[in-house]
Structure 1
Amino acid sequence: MTLLFRRGLPAIGLALLALPALAAQPPGGGPPPAVGVTAVTPRAVTESNEFIGRIEAINRVDIVSRVTAFLEKREFTEGAEVKQGDLLIRLERGPFEAQLAQASASVAEADAQLQNASVTLNRAQALLNTVAGQRSVVDNALAAQRSAQAQLMSAQAQQRQAQINLDYTEIRAPIDGRIGRAMVTEGNVVSPSSGTLVTIVSQDPMYVLFTVPVRTMLEVRRRYAERGGLEAVTVKVHLPDGTLYSETGKLDFVDINVGQDTDSITLRARMPNPVLQGGLRGLTAGQLVSVVMEAIEPVPMLSVPRAAVITDQRGDFVYVVGAENKAERRAIRMGSESTPQWAVVQEGLREGEQVVVDGLQRVRPGNPVSPAPWQGAGQGGGGAGRPAQGG
């Protein structure tokens, strides 16, 4: 019994020593699985960030009445575009025409009195050098002439005011733009205290306002410092139906205050808003849009095919083929510039490292693989690709 026990020990030891060797072999004891790999390389990527924004008119004018009068006629079509100087509203003119006529009569009367005072002054000055002349008479005539001149100036000012009030009975568009809904109908009495009669908003160009985290703004400014900072950024918008607006805007204002609750700052871009097919425009004041802040020129960023990226509960990762062709799990952080074809890697990989793109289901961390160049690498990364034969 003792002899059998001792003889069994070498056999058991040999079996235990063989276990690591068996574990290192693929199931079935075959060769390492073939996988397609590609190198981590920098690619020209157009950096972009997306935010929620709102369209705002550059100019907005609330039309109010400057005088008190009946609203006689509305000359515009609600919702239409108007040009600067177009007649919008006619107010009752009769009372103001009468005031102007009365003011004109006062001017004529004051002018006549001034002429008479001037004649009297000239006569008194001519008699001053004679026996009949008196200095006091000249002084009185001079005072009367100056008083008449002041009365004429006052009458002329009243005449100008009457003319201004008469002109106010025709309300014209102060800017080019689109006119809104009329707030007062014909036949009503309007005055400066009546409030807004109608609103006009400019149409081309438009502003788009959006808020971004301060950190994002600083990163963009630093990254493009040599290219002009924020001047190297363009702005595009996605309309509410998801379509990309055809025009591109430029940043023209950064707010001077940071939101204390959100640690974000407001940016503003100027967007062209031309008339499109059908006579309409793409942007409307108050419209909610998705704003894409995009670099003017692409910048090199480390990228791998999107097919190489796996996601689980711990996040995104790839398999890197390292020394002795062993696969290593590597956690990565992808950038917002990633596309369905390419993943932009901000952290986790170095340029030149080999990542597995095809055959991921056969890879186990720490096990060897048989790498071969990924055939999809030369095809723009559109598909999963397959490793070259013979690897």
Structure 2
Amino acid sequence: MMPIRIHAMLAFAIVLLASAANVSAQGRPPPPAVVVAKVSAQAISDPDRFSGIVEAIQEVDIIARVQGFIDEIAFEAGDQVSGGDVLFRIESALYAAAVAGAEARLAQAEAQLLNANQELSRQQSLREREVAAQSTLEAAVAAQAVARAGVEIAVASLEKARIELSYVEIVAPFAGEIGRELFSRGALVGPTSGPLARLVNTDPVRVVFSISDRVLLDIRREIANGNVPDVVFRLDLANGEIYSEPARIEFIANEADPVTATVPVRLIVKNSDRLLIPGQFVDVVVGPADPPVLPVVPQTAVLQDRDGRYVYVLGENDTVAQRRIEVDSLVQGGWAVTGGLEAGEVVVVQGLQRLFDGVTVTPGAAARKGD
């Protein structure tokens, strides 16, 4: 009986142990689920922003220099024109006739001068033989001078007529974009009629803004030391787009505004794609040319206690380790880290409530370490 009783007790103990082990296995909580993200590396800068306005470097009102009816408009509004291109033609008949008349008057004056020269030559010959009076010779000399002056007047009149004839073709003084015509074909225009159109050169353009004297002081100090200032000027457009072309300084005013503590600055910017137009407002961003590159950790990953800031870093076998970090500033994307963390490491960004150093977690599959 004794062996049977012992065997029964052993069997009962084994059943109890197995049952307890099963209960223990069922009661152990699963590893907490977390969301993780890689630490990125970003160029960190804290740029200054100023409001600027775009101006054309060259702009002019096209005005008629002679009076007449518009015979031709040789452009479409918005055309890109080259310097010397004809924009308007004014009827030329009157001015061509004026040139022809001036040419005839010049021929007449030259004939009169020829006659005066011949008469003077005769009077000189007669005077040498003491046949003509001295007064007659002097009159011939004066007549030659008058005839010579008449030729000079005729030459000037012809030149004036030719210039006025050339003005019937109104040309672009420089390359640029021509606006809409303000007079139609057949309209009578002249020097007092006002602008016929407006021509603007928009490549490159000028951006005018006022920079704080604090930022300008740093730039001037670099220039005074013989260095190229470690700054770049960038334009941000109204839709948030960053303009692709860099800007360079054209002019810095020699006086500051004592009320605003700013100094007017002019930049030159290429504008081959014509995105910038005169009168447009832009943000001028002034920042370092070579900003430092630092790890950036999402803001939601950073916790803080009385000892400072820390994160949970995902390690081997999906365990997390608490890591103390040093941060610089908040940037787009999170905290810029100056110590304690490297770019490429993986940190927990969600599910931080139940974490402690060394705990095993179930990280989000989409952002596991090494992805």
Structure 2-normalised TM-score? 0.70
User: Which digits, 9 at most, give the CA deviation of each residue in 1:68-111, with x for residues without a partner?
Assistant: 11112211100111111111001111111121121111111111
Alignment match, 2:256: 258
Alignment of 1:162-241 (within 5 A): 162-222=161-221, 226=225, 228=227, 230=229, 232-241=230-239
Work out the CA distance in 1 between the residues paired with 2:134 and 2:301. 110
Alignment match, 2:27: none
Look at both structures and tell me which one has the larger radius of gyration over its CA atoms: 2
> What's the C-alpha RMSD, in Å, of the aligned pairs?
3.4
Alignment match, 1:296: 289
Work out the CA distance in 1 between the residues paired with 2:210 and 2:118. 75
How far is 1:142 from its partner? 1.1
Residue type of the alignment partner of 1:152: V
Alignment match, 1:379: 343
Work out the CA distance in 2 between the residues paired with 1:250 and 1:293. 11
User: Which digits, 9 at most, give the CA deviation of each residue in 1:115-174, with x for residues without a partner?
Assistant: 000001111122222131433222221111011101110111111111111111110111
Alignment of 1:130-141 (within 5 A): 130-141=129-140
Question: Structure 1 residues 153 and 388, CA, compared in 2 at 3 Å: closer, same or farther?
Answer: farther
When structure 1 is superposed on structure 2, of 121-130 and 165-174 the one drifting more is 121-130
CA contact (8 A) 2:50 2:284 kept: yes
Residue type of the alignment partner of 2:143: A
User: Which digits, 9 at most, give the CA deviation of each residue in 1:246-276, with x for residues without a partner?
Assistant: 111111111233334322221111111124x
Question: Structure 1 residues 383 and 101, CA, compared in 2 at 3 Å: closer, same or farther?
Answer: farther
Alignment match, 1:319: 308
User: Which digits, 9 at most, give the CA deviation of each residue in 1:329-374, with x for residues without a partner?
Assistant: x9x9959xx4434449xxxxxx9xx7xxxxxxxxxxxxxxxxxxx4
Same amino acid, percent of matched pairs: 32
Question: Structure 1 residues 342 and 122, CA, compared in 2 at 3 Å: closer, same or farther?
Answer: farther
SS in 2 for 1:196: coil
Alignment match, 1:269: 267
Work out the CA distance in 1 between the residues paired with 2:182 and 2:250. 34
Alignment match, 2:316: none
SS in 1 for 2:279: coil
Work out the CA distance in 2 between the residues paired with 1:101 and 1:273. 47
Work out the CA distance in 1 between the residues paired with 2:307 and 2:70. 74
Work out the CA distance in 1 between the residues paired with 2:281 and 2:336. 30
Structure 1: unaligned runs, 5 residues or longer = 1-42, 276-280, 312-316, 322-329, 345-350, 355-373
Alignment match, 1:39: none
Work out the CA distance in 2 between the residues paired with 1:81 and 1:101. 36
CA contact (8 A) 2:295 2:342 kept: no
Structure 1-normalised TM-score? 0.66
Return the match for 2:280 from 256, 281, 287.
Answer: 287
CA contact (8 A) 1:47 1:299 kept: no
Residue type of the alignment partner of 2:133: Q
Work out the CA distance in 1 between the residues paired with 2:144 and 2:78. 58
Residue type of the alignment partner of 2:268: R
Alignment match, 2:31: none
Return the match for 1:340 from 333, 343, 347.
Answer: 333
CA contact (8 A) 1:71 1:91 kept: yes
Work out the CA distance in 2 between the residues paired with 1:206 and 1:154. 47
Residue type of the alignment partner of 1:287: Q
How far is 1:381 from its partner? 8.1
Question: Structure 1 residues 224 and 138, CA, compared in 2 at 3 Å: closer, same or farther?
Answer: closer
CA contact (8 A) 1:307 1:383 kept: no
CA contact (8 A) 2:210 2:265 kept: yes
Work out the CA distance in 2 between the residues paired with 1:182 and 1:318. 72
